[in-house]
Amino acid sequence: MLSASDTIIRLGGLARGSHLQTLGFTRRALSRAVQRGEIERIRDGVFACGPIDREVRAATAHGGALTCASVLQLLGVWVLMQVSAPHVWLGRDRHAHPHDGCSCVSHYYRGTVPLGMTSLEIALVHFRRCAGDEAFFAAYESALRLRLLTTAARGRIRTMIPATAQWLVDLARLDSDSGLESLLRLRLHVLGIRLDCQVELVGVGRVDFVVGGRLVVEADGKENHVGTTMRHKDLVRDAAASALGYETLRFDYAQIIHDWPTVQAAIIAALTRA
């Protein structure tokens, strides 16, 4: 028979005591294994063995499963605002468990709470409720770009969100290069402005958006276009686009996130001129 530590490791590093008892481990045996340091009791009825992510450990100790932005960040999905406190799904009728250094954000959504962390699908659904439609859309497109969602998963997510928000799933594309592009496209779509995405211009290269056939709109993220070399390349591209008859508007992270009214006014004015 496998030891309790081997069994828990094979179960992914976390296990409920009730499950371990069905495998033949008595409460007394589990308690002794804890005393010998072979396994760890995270909270009453939940045991761990081996390395566990810090936030997953905190969520488990809190009484639920890691979810929302916390899961998205672990998977490399773009989120509008980074979170440092673990977001924990407790379920509708469960209570949080106090633990050392607790800074957890509790989510009391209905459903069956898993052990450890939720699936990406559930995390996205919870993220929409927690952070709103815009943040959800940008994260959803990021997950698509990373090839983390199958067609079936996309369908399940669509059915789990309200009918009034399902158009966000329908609008999402696979080729959005950044969360900033997703936000910009969504906001212009709401204004009724149609744009072509990831357009290849001869002599220029691929640009983020072309609006109205003559306006190039570029969204420059925090990590891009900050050095003199990249700045020079951007100027060369903009000049080449101008030679083809395009006007280029380039916006950075701070403008799109913190000064959207100015961005919107600039695009509308450029379209009016065109």
Question: DSSP of 72-94, one letter per residue?
Answer: HHHTT---SS---SPEEE--SS-
CA separation, residue 2 to residues 10, 25, 37 (Å): 10, 10, 17
261/219: higher pLDDT = 261
237/147: higher pLDDT = 147
The pairing of strands 105-107 and 87-89 is parallel
Give the residue from 106, 32, 31, 2 showing the smallest Cα distance to 62. Answer: 106
**CA 169, 172, 174, 176 torsion-angle sign:** negative
Q: What gap in Å lies between CA 152 and CA 134, rounded to an integer? A: 23
- pLDDT of 261 strictly over 90: yes
- pLDDT of 36 strictly over 90: yes
Residue 223 is predicted with a pLDDT of 54
The pairing of strands 65-66 and 116-117 is parallel
Contacts of 271 (CB under 8 A, 6+ apart): 193, 211, 212, 215
What pLDDT digit, counting tens, does each position of 1-20 carry? 688 999 999 999 999 999 99
> By percentage, how much of the chain surpasses pLDDT 90?
68
Over range 235-253, report the average pLDDT: 85
- pLDDT of 67 strictly over 50: yes
CB 175 within 8 Å of CB 197: yes
- pLDDT of 156 strictly over 90: yes
pTM exceeding the 0.85 threshold for the entire prediction: yes
Least confident window among 183-197, 217-231, 258-272: 217-231
- pLDDT of 225 strictly over 50: no
Which domains, and CATH codes, for the chain? 1-52 (no CATH), 54-173 (no CATH), 175-274 (3.40.960.10)
Over range 96-112, report the average pLDDT: 90
- Confidence category of residue 28, pLDDT binned at 50, 70, 90: very high
Measured in degrees and rounded to the nearest 5, phi and psi for residue 172 equal -65, 145
